[in-house]
A and B are shown apart, each in its own frame.
Chain A
């Protein structure tokens, strides 16, 4: 028997090779019992390989993997620990049976694991109640939403009460409200049952859900520790301010601060190694004459630190984008005008009187959960779907009568980076050039432009399917831009791309919008992308329920419901319960912290540590945090859902 202090997982020098590609290259980590341990990294960084090896379903090439003190190196040794492990593989509902109902799925996994009938019934009741799936017991799995599928997957993984659960990207493809719900349920279940969890995510902003984290990049661990420890590894200050002209300011700042980004009308600079005062001074100098306004200094986030770590290891942030052209004439015209767009399928209103406008040169974000109507709106705007009523103009063409004209003037890039994987980079570009009717000479010119813009030099003859995600994404963007469209549609464009790739991508989008006046409409349910937009529209049940800039949306929430307070505590689950009992319905778990919204932050920051001390909980720190777009989204949508429930 192992003692409670022996680690749940110990991995040393783990390596895994797929053909020529090294997926994991000497990974080491230790997970203590009772921990929620996070593996954070982009697609293809080695997370899944490691998780499968720990679950005993993947043979590997080098290193040792121990689970509860048992070496997992053969099918037989893996059998010895498998009963103590629950594994949820990547992909929404992939381990479930689509034609079986919720109850039948749970029963199947229970019997498969040999859970006695009486015990199975009791655990099923408990788990379904906690995940609020009990009302839908008879519903076939394929009819569930993404969030519900993941909750059901979790229930099936926990039905045999394992000591260790391994969850591979459980929140990928799930909307923010369901994601928060999933984390809350997971945190509670693990705490109550004393289960250890190894969980992966491609999203850095989810890192604070974990007790400890390993940052993965290209098969290596870049850093390990609590989220706070990791952030402390690269000290510095994040400065957020406005400076006009923005594009010029960005260019000047990049010379001094490689980690400079445009976030809508704001500029965001990570000043490594500088405190707030130092950052202000150095940024002021770098701007040489342009005066920053609305200055905020903040602590860096994990992503800033991660990117800094990658830069220290030689990663290049420079995109080869030439910022040569200028705003063309007519750049201030409206690129997209939607007035009362409605689309009805049967008796379902997929889009209900949707109205908004996007001027040339603006990055516009269309947010909403799956099924909120984003896709329907995009389809109408790109001329694929005729609206049932309402009207609109895209790139100067009437969408009711000039579908073909619209298609010639817009660019479109989908989540799947719809490239032909078996064609080379150049063949893909040439194909789209031909489709958009470019002649030989234009096609050659634009092909060179795309290769330069996307940093694809040297990859021209590689098959698109073999490119790393970041390059593949920029190639897809290039193909969408080959005919120099005035309006660009991006449908969840950055899923699965590493932070460096994501930054380069947004850098290109910024240049396109500011220098060439291209209007860009982005749909996403990843809120870190929403922060980059100039303007946002939030969709719910086919309607636009909010239409404002990101900071106006945040200010709206702050005025309505208060500021965001973060409490770092020793026992987060009881702390959350105590805070909810004290009237903070917004209290949510984030790893070892609890977040809540406070109307009177100054008083609450002083008052809350005492209140929790009465419940036997120690508060290590209490701080004000800036609201994220995710906070805004969850808050708005939860309120709307609650209103819907009251109405029905």
Chain B
């Protein structure tokens, strides 16, 4: 009798894993997709997608044409804003907004400079396109800051003080930016995309390998050999984990490191170990999906169905704390939620196991439950 970890048992795991790797490397289309996802896709996400306000086009509707109005308008500068000419009439200004030629319109009323110099209260209007709520919010708050600062300077001058030299108690807000001092979006977006790609392949690869055996009828052949369900399923997970770790290494050391100077502050061995655990957990979901799917097309659809809520509930886009109560409960069941904590923690903050043991433990438990369920279903289906 051969136990799982006796000589023949280990040999079985080894030949099966070898087989999975061979099959994977010979699937040219899949390998091309795989390499692209771990390089090109992550590069595009890191360099192109941004949640920062950058060069937002702003038009000025200047009803005053005074020194003061021009001064205010000129303060809307890159990197946040980019002047995009002036609008003649309010109607024109609205049209620019409607046509998405500009993102904001600064509306300065007539006699702006004059009233300012007399010390009267003056209002300016900033009209912002907030179709993208994040960017819209940023534009309006940066705009308010610029206008506020200008107002303060004008007031100080009137009081005969040099700008910034108000005598008296003032609160100075000093912001200290940690972990990503340049507030470089590429790091966040790049890591986030890498985790998404890892998740995608962790579901897709084992599911595809499994369903291909179903389609070809080779699974039937494996069932009449002395292989146990574990010996059939686990090698797929090992092989896919190895391949995904390799992809992750390419993404980190080939794209995020050299192109975006990602710091990688923590222990990388720990990062790869946790990634392996995460892939194992998620591969269980893929295998579970493969017991439901009858062909590769269905695997594709199921992958999307599993991936989307995992991403949304992970906290990659919205902090978990901002979600409604019931979603927060669901998020605890998403392995990506834990992985995200661990990945950002290690790569950007340099934290170690002392802080990460909870998410790692949760991920491990989830993995065992899901893989067990997959094996159970597989056993019932073919047993």
Contacts and interface: CB of A to CB of B under 8 A. Distances in A.
A407 B15 contact: no
A485 to B, nearest CB: 11
B383 to A, nearest CB: 7
Interface string A428-440: 0011111111010
A435 B217 contact: no
Contacts of B382: 384
B125 interface: no
A349 B19 CA distance: 39
B118 interface: no
B23 A420 contact: yes
B175 interface: no
A80 B46 CA distance: 58
A437 B8 contact: yes
A437 B226 contact: yes
Nearest to B222: A435
B12 A410 contact: no
Nearest to B2: A437
Interface in A227-253: none
B230 to A, nearest CB: 13
Nearest to B382: A384
A414 interface: yes
B227 A414 contact: no
Nearest to A419: B218
A610 B86 CA distance: 110
B16 interface: yes
Contacts of B225: 407, 412, 432, 435-436
Contact of B224 (A384, A416, A433, A439): A384
A422 to B, nearest CB: 5
B218 A434 contact: no
Given A412-B221, A427-B22, A435-B16, A422 B227 contact: no
A412 B14 contact: no
B216 interface: yes
Contacts of B14: 434
Given A404-B1, A423-B22, A423-B23, A431 B218 contact: no
Contacts of A416: 216-217, 220
A335 to B, nearest CB: 16
Contact of B19 (A382, A412, A431): A431
Nearest to A412: B224
Interface residues of B, number: 27
Q: Which of A407, A412, A433, A435 has most chain B Cβ within 10 Å? A: A435
Interface string A483-514: 00000010000000000000000000000000
B31 to A, nearest CB: 12
Given A423-B19, A431-B19, A434-B11, A418 B226 contact: no
Contacts of B8: 437
A542 interface: no
Nearest to B9: A437
A432 B222 CA distance: 9
B26 interface: yes
Contact of A418 (B18, B23, B220): B220
A408 interface: yes
Contacts, number: 73
B155 to A, nearest CB: 76
A647 B262 CA distance: 80
A427 B23 CA distance: 11
Nearest to A408: B226
A493 to B, nearest CB: 13
A414 B226 contact: no
B227 A435 contact: yes
A415 to B, nearest CB: 8
A383 interface: yes
Contacts of A434: 11-12, 14-16
B346 to A, nearest CB: 37
B221 A414 contact: yes
Contacts of A427: 19, 22
Given A435-B16, A437-B2, A421 B216 contact: yes
B224 A420 contact: no
A262 B226 CA distance: 33
B35 interface: no
A421 B22 CA distance: 11
Contacts of A407: 224-226
Contacts of B1: 404
A419 B19 CA distance: 12
B321 interface: no
Contact of A383 (B18, B26, B224): B224
Contacts of B221: 412, 414, 418
B94 to A, nearest CB: 53
Contacts of B383: 384-385
B15 A435 contact: yes
A22 to B, nearest CB: 25
Nearest to A411: B224
Contact of A414 (B2, B18, B217): B217
Query: Which 5 pairs, one residue from A and one from B, show the smallest C-beta to C-beta distance?
Result: A434-B15, A437-B8, A418-B221, A416-B217, A412-B224
22 contacts: A382-B224, A384-B383, A404-B1, A404-B226, A407-B224, A408-B226, A418-B217, A418-B220, A422-B22, A422-B23, A423-B19, A423-B22, A423-B26, A427-B22, A431-B19, A432-B225, A434-B11, A434-B12, A434-B14, A435-B15, A435-B225, A437-B8
Interface of A: 382-385, 404, 407-408, 410, 412, 414-416, 418-423, 427, 430-437, 439, 489
